[in-house]
């Protein structure tokens, strides 16, 4: 148990050396942090740009988005590739790169703040913290629902709102029958305690 959350799936020992497990029928709990955890996603236009990039990547790489939350300095996303053959590296790139590009386009002054000089090479504009972020394989129904609930409670724990559904940049509302900024693929995995790979979806 880590920070009140069950940890029983494949997970990375280091953010700088993230292993990827492209295992069929597994979901992936992803976390992306902004460079030096600056609160660049606190602006609604930036949060919307990230979610639009997530939605486009979903269509391009054919994965479900079970849940998400955009916080001021990081994002949590729970995705589940539909095809047995997939590449999480490509999925991550398809989400993060277009999101950064769109946010820089919306806020040109931010692009300059993210400029990193490199000796003998062109400068780099870094929106995301380097290292690939956090990627944990999820294959148990109970854990998937724990992750979803953890995501949705994040803004409340941080004092940003009183109820999960009050936060506009979260998928919490769709699980209460309300609308969200981008479509959410409601998780249909059973909540019961099940053996690994008990993925009853309908």
Model confidence pLDDT, tens digit, residues 112-137: 889 888 888 888 899 999 877 899 99
**pTM, two decimal places:** 0.84
Q: Give the per-residue pLDDT at 120.
A: 87
> Above 60 in pLDDT, residue 202?
no
Position 7 in a domain: no
Position 166 in a domain: yes
CATH number at residue 32: 3.30.70.1290
Position 10 in a domain: no
Position 181 in a domain: no
Q: What is the pLDDT of residues 37-95, one digit of tens each?
A: 999 999 999 999 999 999 999 999 999 999 999 999 999 999 999 999 999 999 999 99
Position 44 in a domain: yes
Position 182 in a domain: no
Q: Give the per-residue pLDDT at 19.
A: 60
> Above 90 in pLDDT, residue 5?
no
Q: What is the pLDDT of residues 10-40, one digit of tens each?
A: 443 344 445 668 999 999 999 999 999 999 9
> Above 50 in pLDDT, residue 196?
no
Q: Are strands 115-118 and 121-125 parallel, antiparallel or unpaired?
A: antiparallel
The residue segments making up the domain with residue 40 are: 15-176
Domain tally, the chain: 1
Long-range contacts for 41-47 (Cβ within 8 Å, ≥24 apart)?
A: 41/70, 41/71, 41/72, 41/73, 41/74, 41/75, 41/169, 42/72, 42/73, 43/107, 44/168, 44/169, 45/106, 45/107, 46/103, 46/106, 46/107, 47/168, 47/169
Position 185 in a domain: no
Chain mean pLDDT for the chain: 87
**H/E element, 115:** strand 115-118
- Could you count the other beta carbons within 10 Å of the beta carbon of residue 102? 18
Residues 18, 136: Cα–Cα separation, whole Å: 10
Question: Average of pLDDT values for 155-163?
Answer: 97
Position 106 in a domain: yes
Residues 180, 166: Cα–Cα separation, whole Å: 11
Q: Which residue has the higher pLDDT, 148 or 198?
A: 148
């Amino acid at each position: 148990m880590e920070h009140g959350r069950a940890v029983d799936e494949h997970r990375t020992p280091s953010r700088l050396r993230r292993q990827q497990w492209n295992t069929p029928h597994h979901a992936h709990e992803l976390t992306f942090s902004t460079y030096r955890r600056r609160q660049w996603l606190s602006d609604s236009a930036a949060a919307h740009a990230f979610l639009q990039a997530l939605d486009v990547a979903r269509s391009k790489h054919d994965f479900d988005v079970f849940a998400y939350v955009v916080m001021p300095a990081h994002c949590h996303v729970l995705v589940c590739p539909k095809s047995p053959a997939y590449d999480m590296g490509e999925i991550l790139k398809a989400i993060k790169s277009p999101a950064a590009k769109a946010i820089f386009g919306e806020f040109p002054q931010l692009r300059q703040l993210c400029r990193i000089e490199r000796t003998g090479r062109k400068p780099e504009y870094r929106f995301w913290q380097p290292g690939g972020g956090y990627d944990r394989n999820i294959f148990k129904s109970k854990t998937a629902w724990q992750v979803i609930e953890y995501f949705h409670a994040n803004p409340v724990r941080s004092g940003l709102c009183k109820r999960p559904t009050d936060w506009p940049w979260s998928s919490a509302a769709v699980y209460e029958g309300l609308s969200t900024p981008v479509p959410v693929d409601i998780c249909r995995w059973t909540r019961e305690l099940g053996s690994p790979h008990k993925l009853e979806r309908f």
